[in-house]
Amino acid sequence: MTTDLNPYRGIDLRPLRSRLAGWSGFESTLLDTAKLANLARKLGLGHFNTADIRALWRIGLVRADITIGQAPAQIPGLEPVQSAFDVRFIDVRQPKARPTGSPSFVPEGEAAEDALTPYFHPYRIYLLHHVVRTLGVSTSNMQYLLWTPGVLSVVEWHLRSLNHWTESKAFLDRFDHWNWACELSIVCEPARWTRRETDNGDPEKLWLQEYGLELQSHLCTLPEDAVPRTRKAFALAAGELDPNSRLQTLLRLMRRFERDRVEGRIGAAIRLLDMAESIRRAVERHLSIQLPEEDEIGARTWMDGARKILYGTNRVFDAAPSMLRDFLGSFGLDGGVKARCYVEGQTELGALRHVLGSTSQCVVVNLRGAVVEGGGKGLAFVESLGSDKANGIFSFVMLDADQADVVRTLCKAATEETFHGAFLLSNPDIEMANFAISELLDVALGIAARNETPDNPPQSYSREDLLRELDGARSGKEFFMRLHRDGRLREVDKGEDWGAALMAYAIEHQKLPQGDPRGDKERPIIGFAQMLIRAEEAGFLNSLKYERVDSATGRLTRRS
């Protein structure tokens, strides 16, 4: 028993193809033989010319979507279509086998088709891919160099195999089926964005909606496996042409105009995936079902939840651009703000700017004392925190813990998950919460030493005397009041430079000194900075799913 390699032979797409052939909007998408050959060359599918495409059409390996002639042509398989402008036909011919014993596949001499001009949908490149894949003759790159007579042996073997196949029924079935699969995507393509509801306004939209209803009735008659099997064939062919699946997904997110300009084999792969998408869109819109997206149906295997982790969403090509920031960020292409850090004061501003660097996608916002609202309660920027979350932006807050209302409101926002990120409350301020008095003095002396010039010679003072005077300071403000007494070290003060110097010291010495009462613990600002840096690498949606802000510690923790 011979296996039928054209499983959908009896499914008739001619009514839909005829309607499309008579629609004026269809003509703008079609290509003549020269343009189809040029498209194939641009997409790396082979060196075709006008004569090649016409020959493939004559023997039925590539069916035309419209053929136009001055008079009706009595050619079997060319069916007339109603048109107000010219005589046109749709091509439903079967592929022709190679004549037994003939030295050429294409018959010599004149043919009835010569009076007609064929036009092809760009999706017909799928047939050219199979022409190259199944009919091309090649040998290894080194065969000629290693053993020249072997080239003839390889070519002779190819000729025997090709002669046997092209004279077989399997050859006819496969090219007939590939044409049918291509035609299914073509009849679906105009309806991929149409609504099912009728609109009596624009005649063009009305035509498309009526066509969509007719397409819907045809889709309902397809065998259950026709759509998934056809779409998978396109996806597998795309994988054969180019294995860069993630790059294909990225390029398919571009505007259609830009996507169609991509050349080479990856451009061909994108076109084939677009064919699969046309079928999916039409089926989803007109049958109200959801199908897997194109990167799910090829050779690649997805674990449950993997697309959510990689892309930030399970529906990539239906998602809003804001939902795909995690995916774009994995390529380093997301130039938008990924994290916003709110601080109150120049010291904190300088510290975080130092650790983030100039190319960071984190923005540091200095609230300049405007934390408390006019009524004296709550956070003035609490609405900004909610806005950050809605836009997929991490929120980091670093404030002094000297105002009970501020602390209470921030902890409440964390508990209610108003924002996603982290917060650090320094008690009483950034200096005393993260450094010993001796360390603050060493940082100040380091800044003073760097500022020494002939016009600004070093001052005469003892580190031990300064340390005795500074001992017991309870805040950064008090530290500098004591330090500046008697006009000492006036060039060193709170501000961005001071904050940057503190952060540089903390990075070099990440734990508090052993003699400090807090023991050999990591400085709080180090853990906060690490979470902020990690936010630039992590995907927001994935973090939101698996992590939350601990209202007690202010840190991002794993959800229970």
Q: pLDDT of 8-61, one tens digit each?
A: 887 899 999 999 988 888 888 999 999 999 999 999 998 999 999 999 999 999
The answer to whether 205 and 199 have CB atoms below 8 angstroms apart is yes
Residues in the chain: 560
Other CB atoms within a 10 A radius of the CB of residue 83 amount to 15
Give dist(CA 381, CA 545) in Å, integer. 24
Those residues of the chain that have pLDDT short of 50 are: 1, 372-378
pLDDT, position 216: 92
Residue with tokens 């950034």: 430
The answer to whether 518 and 537 have CB atoms below 8 angstroms apart is no
Q: Return the amino acid letter for 557.
A: T
What is residue 522's DSSP assignment? B
Pairing verdict, β 339-343 and 394-400: parallel
What is residue 457's DSSP assignment? P
Give dist(CA 235, CA 252) in Å, integer. 13
Q: Return the amino acid letter for 57.
A: W
Give dist(CA 439, CA 503) in Å, integer. 12
Nearest to 511 by CA among 532, 526, 530: 526
Residue with tokens 């003035």: 380
Helix (H, G, I), strand (E, B) or coil at 81: strand
Q: Return the amino acid letter for 102.
A: S
Give dist(CA 265, CA 171) in Å, integer. 25
Query: What's the whole-number average pLDDT of the chain?
Result: 86
The answer to whether 471 and 487 have CB atoms below 8 angstroms apart is no
pLDDT, position 375: 46
Nearest to 337 by CA among 383, 421, 394: 394
Query: What's this model's pTM, rounded to 2 decimal places?
Result: 0.70
What is residue 323's DSSP assignment? G
Structure tokens at 233: 């064939």
Contacts of 139 (CB under 8 A, 6+ apart): 150, 151, 154, 155
What is residue 558's DSSP assignment? E
Give dist(CA 501, CA 507) in Å, integer. 10
Nearest to 368 by CA among 383, 386, 358, 380: 380
Nearest to 173 by CA among 163, 181, 185: 181
Other CB atoms within a 10 A radius of the CB of residue 137 amount to 11
Structure tokens at 317: 């090509």
Nearest to 385 by CA among 361, 350, 407, 414: 414
Beta bridge partners of 91: 78
Cβ density class 337-357: b for 16+ within 10 Å, e for less:
bbbbbbbbbbbbbbbbbbbbe
Contacts of 76 (CB under 8 A, 6+ apart): 93
Q: How many helices (H) and strands (E) does the chain have?
A: 25, 10
CA atoms within 13 A on the CB side of 71: 4
Give dist(CA 149, CA 441) in Å, integer. 85
φ, ψ for residue 312 (rounded to 5)? 90, -5
pLDDT, position 506: 94
